[in-house]
């Protein structure tokens, strides 16, 4: 068995040392300097491997969003026991009450990891970020600003590139790394999962969790979100899956279809959600999406959560074609209205969820003539930088064509002009019959 190890040099050395005694397994180091280099490494090498192991959740999430998984993947979970080691190394900088900045981990995780120690904690500043768009510079600036303002005495980071950057600026920075036993256990679990996996079981499943209750004021809402976060983190630890903040109103879990089927007893047992609601003291609504990429699965999950809230059900699983109520085998599935296989196929080739592709096509129809990427961004509600990427995708799919540039006298670079093609109009006529993303109750055929 050949397993690729993806990570920075220091963690690769530690991982190789921790698994040196495992028999009948050859480990192939795939080293990167920055996490954003991981997708290219995995894409070029995974077909020659039996599995891929990521030395951290950040490169794992980045690859989930951009690389189609063809073999089992797993990642090294961050255990808060690594905090204690980092604090021991930082003891010369600790004077009185501890003030620290921490990235990657949430404040509740940090406090939980330190609750059994005798340290007097004064302040903990944590940095939450989008796992699919990791910026080493942004994380380093977070720590640097807090030190410059005199708010913290030490910086704890889980990202090696950030650690090197902070040390280069002579900041009191210390690295949080998992213990050798944690590494070995995670790799052994991956080895057990390798056998018997199918392509369907390797699909990404994202769960979106939201509190479903009225709250009086901002403080009560924030307390509710902390309770939901704590309950979700505890659930994820028991399952061995990833749980991270999604936005200001929801959290998400990330796992494979194989893990999800095991965790729900083949989609029949969702008692964990009622247990979560009981622990929080308010109802929790959830939706799960399954797809070939993290982005598509997340969009499907958000749709499933909306359906669960509208229908007053516990939760749904949505795969772009039908939304299935979980834990209620006699309930009919909700089919994607007028599901169009051609539109769905094009969306998958472009890496877009079908509702998103339909929204983009409908956005193209808002222009009578030519338009720029910035104008398109305003119509469909995305960032201009993202719009340029979307326009390239639409160009490759033959839904738009370039037809000149728009120049402004004396300021800025020229902007490309685009026009919708006949194929775009053809697809739009099909979305008018229902391909835009609604679901309706119909019996499963």
Question: What's the average model confidence in pLDDT over 155-182?
Answer: 87
Between 39 and 115, the higher pLDDT residue: 39
For 171, the 3-state DSSP assignment is coil
Statement: residue 384 has pLDDT above 50: yes
What is the structure's pLDDT at 437?
44
183 falls in which pLDDT band (50, 70, 90)? confident
C-alpha distances (whole Å) from 247 to each of 68, 129, 130, 306, 317 are: 25, 10, 9, 15, 20
Element at 415 (helix H, strand E): strand 415-420
Q: Calculate mean pLDDT across residues 163-173.
A: 91
- Say which CATH topology domain 81-175 has: Rossmann fold (3.40.50)
What pLDDT, on the 0 to 100 scale, is given for residue 340?
Answer: 64
Percent of the chain residues past pLDDT 70, beyond the cut: 87
Give CA separation, 218 vs 208, 213, 222, 251, 255, in Å.
21, 13, 6, 18, 31
Residues ≥6 apart with Cβ < 8 Å to 379: 363, 366, 367
Place of tokens 């650690």: 163
| pLDDT average, residue stretch 33-53 | 91
Q: Please tell me the distance from the alpha carbon of residue 328 to that of residue 325, in angstroms, as a whole number.
A: 6
Give the per-residue pLDDT at 198.
61
Class of domain 198-331: alpha beta
Residues of the chain with CATH 3.30.70.270: 198-331
Please tell me the predicted confidence (pLDDT) of residue 329.
58
The second-level CATH assignment, the architecture, of 341-435 is Orthogonal Bundle (1.10)
Phi and psi, residue 416, nearest 5°: -70, 145
**Whole-prediction pTM:** 0.60
* CATH number given to 1-77+178-195: 3.40.50.2300
Rounded to 5 degrees, φ, ψ at 273 are -75, -40
Start-end of CATH 3.40.50.2300 domains in the chain: 1-77+178-195
What was the pLDDT predicted at 376?
86
Cα gap 98→436, rounded to integer Å: 53
User: Worst-scoring range by mean pLDDT, 57-66, 74-83, 250-259, 275-284?
Assistant: 74-83
Q: Which pLDDT score, from 0 to 100, does residue 433 have?
A: 45
Q: Looking at the chain, which residues constitute the CATH 1.10.10.10 domain(s)?
A: 341-435
**% pLDDT > 90, the chain:** 20
């Amino acid at each position: 068995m050949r397993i690729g190890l993806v990570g920075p040099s220091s963690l690769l050395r530690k991982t190789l040392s921790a698994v040196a005694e495992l028999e009948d397994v050859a480990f192939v180091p795939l080293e990167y300097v920055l996490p954003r280099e991981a997708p290219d490494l995995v894409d070029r090498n995974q077909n020659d491997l039996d599995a891929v192991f990521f030395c951290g959740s950040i490169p794992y999430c980045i690859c989930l969003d951009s690389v189609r998984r063809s073999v089992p993947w797993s990642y090294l979970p961050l255990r808060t026991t690594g905090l204690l080691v980092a604090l021991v190394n930082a003891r010369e900088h600790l004077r009185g009450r501890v003030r620290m900045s921490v990235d990657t981990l949430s404040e509740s995780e940090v406090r939980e990891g330190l609750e059994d120690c005798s340290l007097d904690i004064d302040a903990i500043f944590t940095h939450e970020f989008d796992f699919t768009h990791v910026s080493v510079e942004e994380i380093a600036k977070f720590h640097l600003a807090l030190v410059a303002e005199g708010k913290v005495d030490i910086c704890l980071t889980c990202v090696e590139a950030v650690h090197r950057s902070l040390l280069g600026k002579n900041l009191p920075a210390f690295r949080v790394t998992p213990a050798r036993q944690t590494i070995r256990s995670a790799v052994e679990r991956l080895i057990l999962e390798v056998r018997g996996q199918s392509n369907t079981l390797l699909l990404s499943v994202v769960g979106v969790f939201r509190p479903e209750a009225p709250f009086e004021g901002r403080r009560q809402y924030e307390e509710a979100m902390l309770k939901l976060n704590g309950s979700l983190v505890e659930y994820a630890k028991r399952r061995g899956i990833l749980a991270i903040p999604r936005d200001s109103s929801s959290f998400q879990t990330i796992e494979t279809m194989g893990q999800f089927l095991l965790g729900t007893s083949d989609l029949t047992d969702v008692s964990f959600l009622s247990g979560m609601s009981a622990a929080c003291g308010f109802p929790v609504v959830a939706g799960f999406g399954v797809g070939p990429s993290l982005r598509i699965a997340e969009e499907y999950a958000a749709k499933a959560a909306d359906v669960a809230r509208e229908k007053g059900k516990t939760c749904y699983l949505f795969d772009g074609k039908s939304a299935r109520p979980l834990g209620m085998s006699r309930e009919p599935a909700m089919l994607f209205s007028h599901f169009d296989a051609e539109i769905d196929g094009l969306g998958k080739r472009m890496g877009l969820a079908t509702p998103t592709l339909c929204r983009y096509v409908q956005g193209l129809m808002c222009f009578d003539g030519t338009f720029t990427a910035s104008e398109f961004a305003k119509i469909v509600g995305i960032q201009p930088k993202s719009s340029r990427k979307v326009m390239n995708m639409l160009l490759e799919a033959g839904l738009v064509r370039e037809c000149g540039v728009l120049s402004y006298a004396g300021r800025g670079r020229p902007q490309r002009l685009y026009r919708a093609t006949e194929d775009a109009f053809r697809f739009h006529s099909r979305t008018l019959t229902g391909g835009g993303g609604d679901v309706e109750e119909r019996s499963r055929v």
